[in-house]
Amino acid sequence: MSFLLNKDRIVMGVDYYPEHWDKSLWAEDLDRMKKAGIEFIRIAEFSWNLFEPQEGEYTYTFFDEFLELCKEKDMKVIFCTPTATPPAWLTDKYPEVLNARQDGVLYRHGARRHYNYNSPIYQRFTRNIVERIASHYAPHESIIGWQIDNEINCEKDEFYSESDTIAFREFLKEKYGTIKNLNKAWGTAFWNQTYTSFSEVYVPRTTLSNSTNPHEVLDYKRFVSDSACRWAKLQSDIIRKYIKPGDFVTTNGLFGNLDNHRMVRESLDFMTYDSYPNMAYGVDSHFIETSGLRDRFWGLLLDEVRSLKGNFGIMEQQSGANGWNTAMAAPTPKPGQITLWTMQSIAHGADFVCYFRWRTCTFGTEIYWHGILDYSGRDNRRLKEITEIHDKFAAIKEVSGSEYKAEVGVVETYSNKFDSELDAWHKMIETTSKTGIYEASQFTHTPIDYVYLQDETRVEELAKYKVLIYPHAVIVTEKEASLLKEYVENGGTLILGCRAGMKDETGICSQKNMPGLLSDISGVEVTEFSLVTPGEKALVSWDDDEIEAAVFTDELSPSSGAEVLATYANRYNKGVPALVENKYGKGRVIYFGGAFNRHSAEVFFKKLGVINPLSEIMDIPEECEIAIREKENNRYIFVLNYSGEAQEITLKKDMFNMYTSASCSGKITLSSYETLILKQ
Give the number of residues in contact with ligand GAL, rule: CB under 6 A: 8
Minimal distance, residue 322 CB to ligand GAL, in Å: 6
Which C-beta is closer to ligand GAL: that of 366 or that of 374?
366
Which C-beta is closer to ligand GAL: that of 371 or that of 577?
371
DSSP class of residue 466? S
Which C-beta is closer to ligand GAL: that of 273 or that of 604?
273
**Interaction with ligand GAL in 201-260: which residues (CB under 6 A)?**
none
Contact 63, 48 (CB under 8 A): no
Minimal distance, residue 370 CB to ligand GAL, in Å: 10
**Interaction with ligand GAL in 82-101: which residues (CB under 6 A)?**
none
3-state helix, strand, coil in the chain (%, to 5): 35, 25, 40
Which C-beta is closer to ligand GAL: that of 352 or that of 542?
352
Minimal distance, residue 84 CB to ligand GAL, in Å: 8
Which C-beta is closer to ligand GAL: that of 84 or that of 144?
84
Minimal distance, residue 316 CB to ligand GAL, in Å: 6
Which C-beta is closer to ligand GAL: that of 154 or that of 569?
154
Strand order in the sheet with 545-548: 448-452, 408-412, 467-470, 493-496, 587-592, 577-584, 563-568, 539-542, 545-548
Beta bridge partners, 104, equal none
Which C-beta is closer to ligand GAL: that of 146 or that of 369?
369
Which C-beta is closer to ligand GAL: that of 366 or that of 630?
366
Beta-strand pair 467-470/493-496: parallel
Burial of 220 (0-12, 13-18, 19+ CB in 10 A): buried
> Which range, of 147-155, 156-164, 533-541, 569-577, touches ligand GAL by CB under 6 A?
147-155
Minimal distance, residue 443 CB to ligand GAL, in Å: 29
- Cα separation, 14 vs 298, whole angstroms: 20
Minimal distance, residue 357 CB to ligand GAL, in Å: 8
List Cα–Cα distances, 83 to 63, 307, 616, in angstroms: 16, 27, 52
Q: What are the backbone dihedrals phi and psi of residue 337, each rounded to the nearest 5 degrees, phi first?
A: -70, -30
Phi-psi region of 582 (alpha: psi -120 to 50; beta: other; left: phi over 0): beta
> Which range, of 150-158, 410-418, 581-589, 640-648, touches ligand GAL by CB under 6 A?
150-158
Minimal distance, residue 210 CB to ligand GAL, in Å: 27
- Which among 91, 103, 90, 97 has a CA at the least distance from the CA of 116? 97
Which C-beta is closer to ligand GAL: that of 361 or that of 395?
361
Q: What are the backbone dihedrals phi and psi of residue 412, each rounded to the nearest 5 degrees, phi first?
A: -140, 160
The yes or no reply on residue 366 touching ligand GAL (CB under 6 A) is yes
Which C-beta is closer to ligand GAL: that of 355 or that of 418?
355
Helix or strand (DSSP H, E) at 654: strand 647-657
Residue nearest to ligand GAL (CB): 369
Which C-beta is closer to ligand GAL: that of 151 or that of 407?
151
The yes or no reply on residue 496 touching ligand GAL (CB under 6 A) is no
Which C-beta is closer to ligand GAL: that of 316 or that of 419?
316
Helix or strand (DSSP H, E) at 640: strand 634-641
Q: What is the largest CA-CA distance in the chain?
A: 80
Minimal distance, residue 153 CB to ligand GAL, in Å: 11
Minimal distance, residue 369 CB to ligand GAL, in Å: 4
**Interaction with ligand GAL in 1-30: which residues (CB under 6 A)?**
none
Interface residue with ligand GAL among 316, 525, 555, 674 (CB under 6 A) is: 316
Minimal distance, residue 324 CB to ligand GAL, in Å: 7
Minimal distance, residue 356 CB to ligand GAL, in Å: 6
The yes or no reply on residue 581 touching ligand GAL (CB under 6 A) is no
Q: What are the backbone dihedrals phi and psi of residue 347, each rounded to the nearest 5 degrees, phi first?
A: -55, -35
The yes or no reply on residue 151 touching ligand GAL (CB under 6 A) is yes
**Interaction with ligand GAL in 342-361: which residues (CB under 6 A)?**
356
- Cα separation, 152 vs 140, whole angstroms: 26
Q: How many other CB atoms are there within 10 angstroms of residue 127's CB atom?
A: 14
Which C-beta is closer to ligand GAL: that of 154 or that of 676?
154
Helix or strand (DSSP H, E) at 182: helix 179-185
**Interaction with ligand GAL in 266-295: which residues (CB under 6 A)?**
274
Which C-beta is closer to ligand GAL: that of 45 or that of 269?
45
Minimal distance, residue 252 CB to ligand GAL, in Å: 6
> Which range, of 52-60, 146-154, 173-181, 453-461, touches ligand GAL by CB under 6 A?
146-154
Amino acid in the structure at residue 586: K
The radius of gyration of the chain's CA atoms, rounded to the nearest angstrom, is: 26
Minimal distance, residue 274 CB to ligand GAL, in Å: 5
> Which range, of 149-157, 429-437, 460-468, 652-660, touches ligand GAL by CB under 6 A?
149-157
Which C-beta is closer to ligand GAL: that of 356 or that of 592?
356
Contact 505, 537 (CB under 8 A): no
The yes or no reply on residue 369 touching ligand GAL (CB under 6 A) is yes
For the window 372-401, what string marks contact with ligand GAL as x by the rule CB under 6 A? Answer: ------------------------------
Minimal distance, residue 67 CB to ligand GAL, in Å: 21
For the window 152-181, what string marks contact with ligand GAL as x by the rule CB under 6 A? Answer: --x---------------------------
Is the link from the previous residue into 515 a cis peptide, with omega within 30 of 0? Answer: yes
Where b means 16+ CB within 10 Å and e means fewer, 333-351 reads: beebbbbbbbbbbbbbbbb
Amino acid in the structure at residue 382: R
Beta-strand pair 624-631/403-404: antiparallel
Q: How many other CB atoms are there within 10 angstroms of residue 294's CB atom?
A: 17
Interface residue with ligand GAL among 142, 150, 235, 342 (CB under 6 A) is: 150
- Cα separation, 560 vs 557, whole angstroms: 10
Contact 237, 136 (CB under 8 A): no
Contact 193, 186 (CB under 8 A): yes
Residues that bind ligand GAL (CB under 6 A): 150-151, 154, 274, 316, 356, 366, 369
